[in-house]
């Protein structure tokens, strides 16, 4: 088996064409037979690899309860930096094999073609309402559920309701409301609406509802539509909205958005869900200015013209070369499902397993935005697409020709898949 893996490594990570050849050779490693019974007395040892230090606190906390439930299973947490991460996992053998490992869903194709992705056949993931469909789609490649969804990042709108403005359903409605704001004595209003223009994901909200990027699972080369008239019209609206609210890359940063909202001087802020915990802590820290806020869906552009977030999902994967794949699957399922309530407090991200509220805060809008969001591209051929998209947003903000910018992106995609 070890020699077989070495051949795969050479093919996958030295020759691009070899990666596709390796897929066929390892296809049998990406299916799951009926799981054998796990003994309650036999001793097992599993390695769980991660690359983000922020994950350690969660896994460590989750293992406290796991060790009580499964005292015969030892889980070793093993950190390795993100550089050439999958290559390192493929090369780990014997006692260092990566039985379970953390992965960004966008990298699932690479892991699958490298032969280190085992199908997830745990029943809980097919039960309706436990995990958002987006979490399952992000964990799927070529119609195979591979990942165990762990946590995600999406985009939402924070609302400071002390100004009594009400919650708009469209940005058109918000613009109308903005003309009739009255600020009571003693209050300071810096922004009606703001967001960080240097964050591609927040800008993406305005094209997400009209673009089609790699289909349902992010792995379809035949589904790329990013230069349609609808996309161009929405990006024009995006640029006009930044002008209307005086949002620029020079006067607004991630820090100023957080500081202004936390101080109660902003009514609406578009933010990543990963930022909510820090913002909430900042609000609570200053009792003199603390206020009530709500997490809301991002408004649509206009009636019938939707926005859509661009979510990132972090998953756990089981390696078919695990010393004991059945036990590895149990560990992945436990971390993804059984201990999910510990994710937010330890990582600051929302668990992929649905929660009604987190620490008393209604987070239904977070899951609503996630459920309706667009999937990240999993195709390795266009791995730098989002870098190019980020540049495109910058050019649009600098008054670049929108039709020419999106046509250039579409042309790039077309050439990559020839």
Structural domain includes residue 67 = yes
Supply the pLDDT for residue 418: 67
Query: What is the pLDDT at residue 11?
Result: 42
Same domain, 146 and 160: no
Residues 114 and 126 in one domain: yes
Total number of domains constituting the chain: 2
* Same-domain status, 134 and 177: no
258 and 215 belong to one structural domain: yes
- What pLDDT score was predicted for residue 40? 85
pLDDT at 36: 54
The answer on 247 and 108 residing in a single domain is no
User: According to the model, what pLDDT value does residue 80 have?
Assistant: 95
Flag whether 371 is in a domain. no
Query: Is residue 343 included in any domain, yes or no?
Result: yes
* Dihedral pair phi/psi, residue 37, rounded to 5°: -70, 135
Residue 187 has a pLDDT of: 83
274 and 401 together in one domain: yes
Q: What integer pLDDT is reported at residue 1 of this predicted model?
A: 44
Residues of the chain predicted below pLDDT 50: 1-29, 31-35
User: Is residue 361 in a domain?
Assistant: yes
pLDDT recorded at residue 28: 40
DSSP letters for 53-107 = THHHHHHHHHHHHHHHH-TTEEEEEEE--STTHHHHHHH--GGG--SEEEEEGGG
Instruction: Give the per-residue pLDDT at 12.
Output: 44
Give the CA distances from residue 299 to residues 211, 306, 410, in Å, rounded to whole numbers and listed in that order.
Answer: 17, 8, 27
**What pLDDT is recorded for position 30?**
53
User: How does pLDDT run across 392-405, given as a tens digit for each residue?
Assistant: 999 999 999 999 99
In this structure, the answer to whether residues 262 and 319 fall within a common structural domain is no
Q: What is the predicted pLDDT for the residue at 59?
A: 98
Q: Domain containing 401 — which CATH number?
A: 3.40.190.10
Q: Provide the residue range defining the domain that includes 272.
A: 155-310+384-416
Q: Is residue 373 part of a domain?
A: no
The whole-number pLDDT of residue 386 equals 93
Sign of CA dihedral 143, 146, 150, 152: negative
- 178-182 own/partner pairs: CB under 8 Å, 24+ apart: 178/244, 178/245, 181/267
The gap between the terminal CA atoms of the chain, to the nearest Å, is 35
Cα distance between residue 197 and residue 199, in whole Å: 5
pTM for the model:
0.90
pLDDT at 27: 41
What does the pLDDT read at residue 396?
Answer: 97
């Amino acid at each position: 088996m070890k020699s077989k893996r070495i051949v795969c490594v050479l093919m996958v990570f030295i020759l691009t064409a070899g990666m596709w050849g390796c897929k066929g050779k390892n296809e049998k490693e990406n299916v799951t037979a009926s799981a054998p019974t796990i003994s309650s007395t036999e001793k097992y040892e599993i390695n769980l690899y991660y690359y983000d230090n922020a994950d350690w606190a969660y896994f460590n906390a989750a293992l406290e309860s796991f060790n009580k439930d499964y005292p015969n299973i030892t889980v070793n947490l093993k950190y390795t930096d993100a550089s050439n991460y999958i290559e390192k996992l493929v090369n780990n053998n014997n006692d260092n094999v990566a039985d379970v490992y953390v992965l960004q869903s966008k990298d699932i194709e690479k892991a699958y073609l490298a032969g280190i992705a085992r199908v997830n056949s745990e029943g809980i993931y097919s039960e309706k309402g436990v995990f958002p469909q987006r979490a399952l789609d992000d964990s799927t490649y070529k119609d195979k559920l591979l990942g165990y969804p762990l946590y995600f990042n999406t985009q939402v709108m924070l609302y400071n309701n002390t100004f009594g403005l009400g919650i708009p359903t469209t940005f058109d409605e918000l613009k109308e409301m903005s003309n009739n704001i009255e600020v009571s004595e003693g209050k300071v209003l810096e922004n009606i609406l703001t967001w960080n223009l240097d964050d591609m994901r927040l800008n993406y909200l305005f094209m997400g509802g009209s673009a089609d990027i790699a289909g349902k699972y992010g792995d379809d080369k035949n589904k790329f539509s990013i230069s349609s008239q609808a996309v161009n019209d929405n990006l024009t609206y995006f640029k006009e909205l930044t002008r209307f609210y005086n949002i620029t890359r020079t006067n607004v940063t991630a820090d100023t958005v957080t500081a202004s909202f936390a101080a109660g001087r902003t009514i609406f802020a578009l933010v990543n869900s990963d930022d909510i915990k820090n913002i909430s802590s900042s609000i609570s820290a200053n009792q003199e200015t603390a206020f009530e806020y709500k997490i809301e869906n991002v408004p649509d552009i206009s009636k019938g013209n939707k926005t859509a977030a661009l979510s990132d999902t972090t998953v756990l994967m089981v390696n078919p070369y695990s010393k004991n794949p059945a036990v590895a699957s149990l560990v992945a399922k436990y971390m993804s499902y059984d201990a999910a309530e510990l994710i937010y407090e330890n990582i600051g991200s929302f668990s992929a397993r649905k929660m009604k509220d987190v620490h008393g805060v209604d987070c239904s809008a977070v899951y609503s935005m996630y459920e309706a969001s667009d999937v990240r591209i999993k195709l390795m051929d266009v791995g730098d697409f989002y870098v190019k998209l980020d540049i495109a947003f910058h050019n649009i903000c600098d008054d670049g020709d929108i039709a020419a910018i999106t046509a250039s992106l579409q042309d790039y995609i077309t050439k990559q898949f020839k």
